[in-house]
Amino acid sequence: MSHSYRHVRFPESGERITVVDGRLHVPDEPIVGFVEGDGIGPDITRACLRVWDAAVAKAYGGKRKIHWCETYLGEKAAGIYDGSYFPDETLEALRELIVSIKGPLTTPVGGGFRSLNVAVRQELDLYACVRPVRHYAGVPSPLKRPDQVDVVIFRENTEDVYAGIEYKSGTPENEKLAKFLREEMGAKFFEGAGLGIKPISEFGSKRLVRKAIQYAVDNGRESVTLVHKGNIQKFTEGAFRNWGYELAREEFANVTITEEQLYGEFKGKQPEGKIVIKDRIADIIFQMMQLRPAEFDVLATPNLNGDYLSDAVAAEVGGVGIAPGANIGDHIAVFEATHGTAPKYANMNKVNPGSLLFSGVMMLEYMGWKEAADIITLTYPEVIKDGIVTYDFARQIDGATEVGTSQFADAIIERINGGVDLEAKRRALQEQLVKERKQREIRRLLQPLEEMIDTGRIPHTVRDLMTHTLITVADSETVHDAMHLMADNEVSSLVVERNAQGQWGILTRRDIVTKIVKANRSPMTTKVGDIASRPVKSVPADTPIREAAEILSELNFSRLTVSQGDDLIGIVTETDIFRAVEKFGWAGEEVA
């Protein structure tokens, strides 16, 4: 060991986890750290250690084994290290061990203490707070389809309003800053306002988004959504979004496409092996996680929104009591229960070990031990289905059998060893996933605008609004035939194929009214070429909506064709713009 410790005892057997060529290297018998935690910590840690060990033994038949190394924080640390809740050597051990898991810690009340959890995050620069939220069959939930919730939230952990740059109303610092903002920056705000600064950097945003995309790649996920409030906070939250897209282009170009490309270039069909990068405004994501959770997969968010979102989504599928979490830096990772120490239940063998248990599942996945992780994920619902639950679920499930923490662990271990057909369960889950992806794809192909509206995507360019299915006629067809074509396809315009001069044309219902009825001509004998409007006004697919509106009103047109290179790929109409604005409103200016 590179460091000599006073109280931490590394196990005699087992090897250290290392980082080789920038990747985590996990030996078959790694040493992994744990902190028991305070309050209910010892009860849940004891129970979970047994379940994790049983899952590893079952998955690898003795070929792999974790050697646990206890480290100390909180009250237990204070007892051992002369009153210190946060001993330096624990920090050193967590750094050296690279992978650790911890129970909840008491935050000592009274001056001078920062939260131990926050201290660990800051000292080890664990910049990503990762919270997977999914539903397990049988767990009580207020949603109609809780099974559709399966997201992993990557919340930025170091910046944003959590940076602690705040100035209390009435202090000289506050007054100095207020004066500067008013006099030199032209800012306007009420007298005596408390002031806080929200720093969001390119470095901080990109390293977080990099982790989220890498996770999606490693775990075969479908999409990464950048969550932000960039329509209001353009240069912080909006910048987070822009840097996120930029990072995807710079570092993951061969494995990612944007949602624009998905709907445009790929017409709604997600190419094999590509992850879709999309973004959603923060308030919309809260709605969507209730209405259409299946649309979301990995979410990357700045600090404050991520804080709210992780708890809100966790509450949809069983509450924070079973939601797991981790704080992860470049390699060092500390997995942790997300609830507190619930002191009133300490040492009563009563509470739900779910949160810590699934934090351990995340840890096994992080180590690349997916088989062991899956065993727990697939066995857990079996126990719940049999009605064996701790008090917190028992009060929500009729006819359940309430058991203690350690008996709950026993029930899981019994099923791990008792041969649940894991392979069949895994296959069934995979088939379900493929089926749902296919259904989403069909909806995107058939009704792109409706899908966009229903999934909360805000349109930015004409590509987002246009009708993709172009119905074309030739100049030589009769107007009569063209009218049938419009009626049968329920469209109000047709694209007229290029004429000898190479110009596209358009034939609209209004052309029929003015150039046939009003002009008193016969649709049976008049040819499309005689009345089609030419040349059409075409705009490139990435034209912003506001610019398209400007062109429409200047030319007094009701539709524009949309081009990509030399090809026409769609039509965008006044009605399309109207519907989008009716649905999403108009912010006045788009996110840059």
- Where does this chain bind ligand NAP (CB under 6 A)? 40, 104-107, 117, 321, 336, 339-342, 351-352, 355, 392
Structure tokens at 557: 């047109």
CA distance 506 to 37: 71
CA distance 277 to 248: 8
Q: Are 391 and 143 contacting, i.e. CB atoms less than 8 angstroms apart? A: no
Q: DSSP secondary-structure letter at 147?
A: G
Half-sphere exposure of 6 (CA within 13 A, CB side): 10
Structure tokens at 502: 């190479």
Among all residues, whose Cβ is closest to ligand NAP?
340
CB of 43 to ligand NAP, least distance (A): 9
Question: Could you tell me where the beta strands, DSSP code E, fall in 406-453?
Answer: none
CB of 252 to ligand NAP, least distance (A): 32
Nearer Cβ to ligand NAP (115/575): 115
Q: Are 1 and 10 contacting, i.e. CB atoms less than 8 angstroms apart? A: yes
CA distance 227 to 13: 45
CB of 316 to ligand NAP, least distance (A): 17
Nearer Cβ to ligand NAP (355/455): 355
DSSP string, 307-371: HHHHHHHHHHTT-GGG-EEEEE-SS-EEEEESS---GGGTTSS-S--HHHHHHHHHHHHHTT-HH
CA distance 482 to 477: 7
* DSSP bridge partners of 199: none
Nearer Cβ to ligand NAP (45/107): 107
CB of 83 to ligand NAP, least distance (A): 17
Nearer Cβ to ligand NAP (119/420): 119
Max Cα separation, the chain? 101
Q: Is the dihedral of CA 219, 223, 227, 230 positive or negative?
A: positive
Question: How distant, in Å, are the alpha carbons of 373, 377, 416 from that of 52?
Answer: 8, 11, 10
Nearer Cβ to ligand NAP (114/510): 114
CB of 181 to ligand NAP, least distance (A): 35
Examine residue 142 and say whether the peptide bond preceding it is cis (omega within 30 degrees of 0): no
In the block, residue with structure tokens 């271990």:
413
CB of 107 to ligand NAP, least distance (A): 3
CB of 21 to ligand NAP, least distance (A): 33
Angle, alpha carbons 132-458-216 (nearest 5°): 30
Q: Return the H-helix or E-strand segment holding 479.
A: helix 479-489
* DSSP bridge partners of 281: 228
Instruction: Point out the residues that are catalytic.
Output: 162, 229, 283, 307
Nearer Cβ to ligand NAP (164/588): 164
Nearer Cβ to ligand NAP (103/570): 103
CB of 90 to ligand NAP, least distance (A): 14
Structure tokens at 189: 């705000």
CB of 341 to ligand NAP, least distance (A): 4
- Residue 195 CA to its chain's centroid (Å): 30
DSSP string, 514-531: IIIITTT--TTT-BHHHH
Nearer Cβ to ligand NAP (240/345): 345
Nearer Cβ to ligand NAP (291/346): 346
Q: Are 199 and 156 contacting, i.e. CB atoms less than 8 angstroms apart? A: no
- The neighbour count for residue 508, using CB atoms within 10 Å, is 22
